[in-house]
Chains A and B, each alone.
Chain A
């Protein structure tokens, strides 16, 4: 059931993406983007079903966090739409990201719900993972908007990208420090130089660099967009490469 729902969600996200290229403006910009809404609800029901089947918040492996990550698609869209004319592109970006992120749980992962290991049974489990996933989805959206600006898109997209990144920065920071506090409770060390910790810090530093560059007198728009895109790249490395690449061995390898 879960896999079917996820495949349906991908289908609706892709259809919504295709609808954005329709010649009629009325068809492209309906009051209610129905395909996106249906896709999101398939996605959300699959997430709820997973939670019910697993018997714990499904945040413990790549399959499950992908479901969590894409569950922020619609809230992010509703919160940041109607700003600086980036509405259409924002919806496209969110549908594109959601469809891409769902490929793993819908087609590749074995989908087996495994019980939680001892270290994951902590009060920090939900806030740490949830805030990181909100931050990652928002920063991915912001990064895609920045890439559009770099490709010659309207400057208004940069303002939306900045607003999203500014809000995401709190979630990114909270994820970092809640992870440190959790590590202190579980292993007695709040910073162990684990590859995931190191790359989380690198990501945080890149966004700090972006905010400092933006505050610098004479900051250029293209450089701001480039730094946001670099931050998005750092997010991708932290989220995927560090967990999947064999060269990084650490406490987060299970994820």
Chain B
């Protein structure tokens, strides 16, 4: 016989209030509205610039109103939970914390660019958008800037029409099978340099990150570098002359009829030299400008080497040797699919990283010295300096993005809460199974 359930004893399912379906419906509606708005806005990227998209859509009042409504609804769930759980609470509070960090950051952050040349000190940050120039409470000095490149690796590639279908690093013995032909690298052939004709060219060479040197170069050969300190004397038999360095300038300019240095930056490096002819004893003075087109010492020309290949096939036992210059295609076959050929090239080394050696100066004294590079910003006094861009021609200046966002710790707190909350919710054992 069944015992009647006393009216005062609640049924197990009635111990907790049932969740209000309306709360879920509102939440789902807001999710849908935000997702659809984001989706539509993402398609406008081809029409509007990033700045316009941000101003008119992502950072507009109605976008923020939708997110604020979702945050309020989320807070309501956290304040009145059906039952407390760390995963649920963290996961629901985290987006609110992240949105708060983003909103407060948008109103209070200072962001802009700082461009520094080598040896230059600066404290003026140009804002990214509208607004006046911001002066930092300290100064930054760029001691040195340098770019790191990957080494260039020669490669042998098989091409069909416009498409690379196979490739191999070029090294003696390396093989590449393509289109029924098998190519094996025998080695490189470097032709002898052309005979020297006439005297070498005398030039002034001044890299952006080093000291100036006199450069003596024959066409097709790397230059021979000589010291260029004022007063240095060099006997140069190839010129049948004695070369004396009279003066050097990093940023040559003529003011009031006199040669002067405008700055310490290597914007217009120049050297004044005296040449004394060893045969006749006559002397003449001349200027050498590093940046003048055609006047600078030519960088070492890449060796005009040729690749020697042994080609096997297509018939068994067939073999022949060929030599190829860089980018010279070797036609293997031509059919309906298009031309099929082998080629070797030596692409210039890609940029691996770029570095700015920076000093923070407070009242003229060095308070910190650190190298900023991509993924490793310099942090000082609540400011962050990100390695953003640089002078890709002469490597003479660096561009840093400066940021001061007092709400950044809130972002990290929200991110941590989200990670923990989602881990607890996803992997914690469920009551009553799935």
A associates with B = yes
Chain A residues with a Cβ under 8 A of chain B? 110-112, 114-119, 121-122, 159, 162-163, 166-170, 173-174, 177, 180-182, 184-191, 193, 195, 198-199, 201-202, 205-206, 208-209, 212-213, 215-218, 242, 246-250
- By Cβ-Cβ distance, the 9 closest A-B pairs, closest first, are A170-B426, A216-B24, A173-B422, A118-B374, A188-B386, A209-B31, A122-B375, A110-B164, A177-B415
Number of A-B contacts defined by CB within 8 Å: 135
Does the CB pair B386–A174 fall under 8 Å?
Answer: no
Does the CB pair B386–A186 fall under 8 Å?
Answer: yes
Chain B residues with a Cβ under 8 A of chain A? 18-19, 21, 24-25, 27-28, 31-32, 34-35, 38-39, 41-43, 45-46, 50, 53-54, 58, 102, 111, 150, 163-167, 350-354, 373-377, 384, 386, 388, 401, 403, 408, 411-412, 415, 418-419, 422-423, 425-427, 434
- Chain A residue with minimal CB distance to B27? A212
Of the candidates B354, B415, B425, B434, which one forms a contact with A159 in the assembled complex, judged by CB atoms under 8 Å apart? B434
Contacts of B25 in A (CB 8 A): 216
Does the CB pair A198–B41 fall under 8 Å?
Answer: yes
- Tell me the minimal C-beta distance from B432 to chain A in angstroms: 13
- Chain B residue with minimal CB distance to A165? B426
Does the CB pair B28–A162 fall under 8 Å?
Answer: no
With A170-B426, A193-B53: A213-B42 Cβ-Cβ less than 8 Å = no
Contacts of A185 in B (CB 8 A): 375-377
Does the CB pair A115–B422 fall under 8 Å?
Answer: no
Overall SS of chain B's interface: helix
Additional A-B contact list (7), CB under 8 Å, known A122-B375, A205-B38: A115-B150, A118-B354, A121-B375, A168-B426, A170-B425, A188-B384, A247-B46
Contacts of B386 in A (CB 8 A): 186-188
Does the CB pair B31–A163 fall under 8 Å?
Answer: no
Contacts of A246 in B (CB 8 A): 46
Report the bound CA distance from A119 to B352 in whole Å. 9
- Tell me the minimal C-beta distance from A167 to chain B in angstroms: 5
- Tell me the minimal C-beta distance from A224 to chain B in angstroms: 12
With A193-B54, A199-B42: A212-B31 Cβ-Cβ less than 8 Å = yes
Overall SS of chain A's interface: helix
- Chain A residue with minimal CB distance to B401? A188
What are 23 of the A-B contact pairs (CB < 8 Å)? A112-B167, A115-B150, A117-B350, A159-B434, A166-B425, A167-B426, A169-B422, A170-B425, A170-B426, A177-B415, A184-B408, A184-B411, A188-B384, A193-B50, A195-B42, A198-B38, A208-B31, A209-B28, A209-B31, A212-B27, A213-B24, A216-B28, A247-B43
Does the CB pair A216–B422 fall under 8 Å?
Answer: no
Contacts of B351 in A (CB 8 A): 117-118
Does the CB pair A118–B352 fall under 8 Å?
Answer: yes
- Tell me the minimal C-beta distance from A116 to chain B in angstroms: 8
- Tell me the minimal C-beta distance from A163 to chain B in angstroms: 6
- Tell me the minimal C-beta distance from A159 to chain B in angstroms: 5
Does the CB pair B374–A205 fall under 8 Å?
Answer: no
Does the CB pair A173–B384 fall under 8 Å?
Answer: no
- Tell me the minimal C-beta distance from A239 to chain B in angstroms: 15
Report the bound CA distance from A189 to B412 in whole Å. 12
Does the CB pair B34–A205 fall under 8 Å?
Answer: yes
Contacts of A247 in B (CB 8 A): 43, 45-46
- Tell me the minimal C-beta distance from B386 to chain A in angstroms: 4
Contacts of A159 in B (CB 8 A): 434
- Tell me the minimal C-beta distance from A214 to chain B in angstroms: 10
Give the residue among A121, A190, A191 with the most B Cβ atoms within 10 A: A190
